A = this chain, B = another copy of it.
Amino acid sequence: MDTDIAPDKVRKNRYPLRRSEGQGRWAGVEVMPYKEDERALFKSITRQVLFSDPEMQGELRYFEVAPGGYSTLERHEHMHGVMVLHGHGHCLVGRRVRRIAPYDLVTVPPWTWHQFRAGADEPLGFLCLVNAQRDRPLVPSKAELAELRRDPAIDAFLRGAAAE
């Protein structure tokens, strides 16, 4: 029995030590799936909040995208600082599609379209640093999406056929 964790006795996320329990899993950290809807804005992605506290102005989350899955294509005022932890995939940041591998660092500047996609054969796990207080993401309008898709590399990426 692991006595490190007594979630009911301590402030959430403030317990001194939460042990790794294998790739992308931690004792006492809830895995939150996104509810998928008919808009198919994302696919097969879970979120875990690793560090969040009223006295911290940043939050660190861990996202895991199953093979073939992807995060929402979105943009917002707040920035993202992303570090890949596990697996491979591709990201779109602005108008650039890039292959990403463990420990690569991806910065998403304000108001920049971005999406993260896992490869076909393994999950993609990444850390994401954000401001604790942040604006809500916007998804592209049909016109914005059509404009993005005019770029063949972006279109291939959004169809799940990314290659550099």
- Chain A residues with CB under 8 Å of chain B are 13-20, 23, 26, 29, 50-51, 53, 55-60, 78-79, 81, 83-84, 93-94, 96, 98, 100-110, 127, 129-133
Contact = CB atoms under 8 A, between A and B. Distances in A.
Contacts of A104: 17-20
B55 A106 contact: no
Contacts of A15: 107
Given A16-B96, A98-B17, A81 B60 contact: yes
A15 B98 CA distance: 13
Copies per complex?
2
Nearest to A60: B129
A57 B131 contact: yes
Given A16-B107, A53-B79, A58-B132, 4 more contacts: A19-B105, A20-B105, A56-B58, A57-B57
Contacts of A14: 107, 109
Closest 4 CB pairs of A and B: A58-B58, A51-B81, A20-B103, A57-B57
Contacts of A83: 50, 60, 127
Given A50-B81, A105-B26, A131 B58 contact: yes
A84 B127 CA distance: 13
A105 B21 CA distance: 11
Nearest to A13: B107
B129 A51 contact: yes
Contact of A103 (B16, B26, B107, B132): B26
A22 to B, nearest CB: 9
